[in-house]
Chains A and B, each alone.
Chain A
Amino acid sequence: MRKADIACGLVLLLLGGLVLWGSLTLKIGWGLNGPEGGFFPFWLAVGLVICSGVTVLKAFFRGSSYTDRPFVRKGGWVPVVKVAVPAFGMVALTEAIGLYPAAAIYLAVYMRWIGRHRWITILLVSILLPVASYFLFDKWFLIPMPKGYWTVISGLY
Chain B
Amino acid sequence: MVSYPNAKGILDRDQRTLLKERNYQMEAFGNLLMGFQIALSPYNLFIATVGIVLGTIIGVLPGLGGANGVAILLPITFVMPPTSAIILLSCIYWGALFGGAITSILFNIPGEPWSVATTFDGHPMAKQGRGGEALTAAFTSSFFGAAFAIILVTFFAPLIAEFSLKFGPPEFLGIQMLTFSAFVGLGGGSVPKTLASIFIGFIMAAVGLDIISGQLRLTFGTIELMRGFNFVVAVIGLFGIGEILLTVEEGLELKGIQAKVDWRTVTRTLRELLPYWRTFIRGAIIGSWMGIKPGGATPASFMSYGLAKKLSRNPEKFGNGAIEGVIAPETAAHAAGVSALLPMITLGIPGSPTAAVMLGGLMIWGLQPGPMLFKEKPEFVWGLIASMYTGNVIGVLIVLLFVPFFAAILRVPFAILFPSIVYVCAIGAFAVNNSTTDIWYMMLFGIVGYVFKKLDYPIAPMVLALVLGDMAESALRQSLIMSQGSPMIFFASPISAVLVIASILLVVWPFISSHLHRKRAV
Contact = CB atoms under 8 A, between A and B. Distances in A.
12 contacts: A15-B203, A44-B206, A48-B203, A54-B192, A79-B249, A87-B419, A90-B423, A110-B418, A117-B416, A125-B416, A142-B79, A145-B430
Given A55-B193, A80-B248, A37 B213 contact: yes
A146 interface: yes
Contact of B434 (A76, A103, A107, A144): A144
A50 B447 CA distance: 24
Contacts of A86: 419
A51 to B, nearest CB: 4
Contact of B415 (A19, A47, A87, A110): A110
A50 B192 CA distance: 8
Interface string A12-48: 1001101100110010001101111111110011011
Contacts of A116: 415
Q: What is the interface of chain B mostly: helix, strand, loop, or mixed?
A: helix
Report which residue of A40, A55, A133 has the largest number of chain B beta carbons within 10 angstroms of its beta carbon.
A40
B290 interface: no
Interface string B407-434: 0000001111011101110110011001
Nearest to A12: B196
A80 B418 CA distance: 12
Interface string A82-99: 111011101100110001
Q: How large is the interface on B (under 10, 10 to 19, 20 to 34, 35 or more residues)?
A: 35 or more
Contact of B416 (A45, A111, A145): A111
B195 interface: yes
A146 B455 contact: no
A143 B76 contact: yes
Q: Which 10 A-B pairs have the closest CB atoms?
A: A115-B415, A34-B481, A51-B196, A48-B199, A51-B192, A110-B419, A79-B248, A54-B192, A37-B210, A37-B215
Contact of A84 (B215, B447, B476): B447
Interface of B: 75-76, 79, 190, 192-193, 195-196, 199-200, 202-203, 206, 210, 212-213, 215, 217-218, 220, 241, 244-245, 248-251, 413-416, 418-420, 422-424, 426-427, 430-431, 434, 436, 439-440, 443, 446-447, 450-451, 454-455, 457, 473, 476-478, 480-481, 485
A90 B477 contact: no
A135 interface: no
A77 interface: yes
A114 B415 contact: yes
Given A52-B196, A106-B419, A91 B439 contact: yes
Interface residues of A, number: 72
A145 B427 contact: yes
A150 interface: no
Given A40-B473, A77-B249, A99 B430 contact: yes
Nearest to B76: A141
Nearest to A30: B485
- Most A CB within 10 A of own CB, among B199, B212, B251, B477: B199
Given A47-B199, A99-B426, 18 more contacts: A19-B218, A22-B217, A33-B213, A40-B202, A44-B202, A45-B203, A48-B196, A51-B192, A51-B193, A54-B192, A55-B190, A76-B251, A79-B248, A106-B423, A110-B418, A111-B415, A146-B434, A146-B436
